[in-house]
Amino acid sequence: MDILQEITAHKFDEIAALKAKKPSLREALLKSDSGIIAEFKRRSPSKGWIKEDGRATEIPLSYEQNGAAAVSILTDRDYFGGSDDFIREARKSGVTVPILYKNFVIDELQLAAAALCGASAVLLIAACLTKDECRRLLCKAHELGLEVLLEMHSEAELEYADLQPDLCGINNRHLGSFVTDVETSFRLAELLPKDAVKVSESGISDPQTVKALKEAGFNGFLIGENFMKTEAPGLALHQFIAAL
């Protein structure tokens, strides 16, 4: 075999690995006792740097070792200090649980990037997309082997749940003002399809809140700043789960 044939054969192996089934975020949440999606979030537009020196080679793996059902990684660079490379680094460090590609996805190229860097699922935000755009991106994500967490914030956006995403998210943070109110999840939970896998996002800092959200029908709880603002995010997660 000459060198070109060898390289081409290797590329077929790489593509096969990319197409291989990834760990399922939906299944992980349904099987988990805690349901916590621990987020690697270094910066926020409203609060500035939360943990500027946070390493994707360390914190996501620590989350997994301390009981996270899944990990969310912010990949937006300008507003959240993120990078697609953070997912690659997390995978190389040994993370095997599902990873959510957290960004403001508006184009199919971003879905390809998510698949290439090792994500299991992508976030689609109803407020950023028309329903037709969301449908197209959801279908493309599935073609690439990615699950979709579809995020909604208001009664008007709940019609997007008709697209049957893998998971339905309720964001407690208003993306215009960045004001957070967990009551948003409680208010909208009963309006989602009964069989939806429900995820409450943002503003969760108390184990008692998680218990109440579980009773309201939620399966997953995306928590970032509450852990990232501490000296040891993985330890903070461990203590949070112990309190549950």
CA distances from 16 to 21, 74, 114, 116, 117 (A): 10, 26, 16, 12, 14
Of 22, 32, 34, 41, catalytic: 41
Residue 178 pLDDT exceeds 80? no
Q: SS3 breakdown of the chain: % helix, strand, coil, rounded to 5?
A: 45, 20, 40
Higher pLDDT: 47 or 232? It is 232
Strand partners, 223: 38
**pTM of the complete model:** 0.93
Q: Which of 51, 202, 219, 225 is catalytic?
A: 202
Asked if pLDDT for residue 175 goes beyond 80, the answer is: no
CATH superfamily of 23-243: Aldolase class I (3.20.20.70)
Give the model confidence (pLDDT) of 106-126 as tens digits.
999 999 999 999 999 999 999
pLDDT digits 0-9 by tens, 53-71: 999 999 999 999 999 999 9
Q: Which of 22, 51, 102, 198 is catalytic?
A: 102
Strands 147-152 and 220-223: unpaired
Beta pairing partners, 44: 48
Mean pLDDT of 197-213: 96
User: Residues 15-42: what's their mean pLDDT?
Assistant: 92
Taking the C-alpha atoms of residue 71 and residue 9, their distance in angstroms, rounded to an integer, is: 33
151 catalytic per annotation: yes
pLDDT at residue 177, rounded to an integer? 64
What percent of the chain is modeled with pLDDT above 90?
89
Choice among 171, 172, 200, 219 that is catalytic: 171
The per-residue pLDDT for range 74-97, each reduced to its tens digit, is: 999 999 999 999 999 999 999 999
Catalytic residue among 64, 89, 147, 151, which? 151
DSSP 79: T
Annotation marks residue 226 as catalytic: no
pLDDT tens, residue by residue, 137-169: 999 999 999 999 999 999 999 999 999 999 999
Position 238 confidence tier, pLDDT thresholds 50, 70, 90: very high
Strands 43-44 vs 48-49: parallel, antiparallel or unpaired: antiparallel
Quote the pLDDT of residue 20: 74
- Active-site position among 32, 34, 39, 66: 39
Instruction: Tell me which amino acid residue 18 is.
Output: L
Residue 41 a catalytic site member: yes
Q: Locate the domains of the chain by residue range.
A: 23-243
Residue 146: both structure tokens together: 């990615």
Task: Judge whether 198 counts as a catalytic residue.
Answer: no
pLDDT at 16 over 90: no
Q: State the DSSP code for 112.
A: H
Whether 155 is catalytic is no
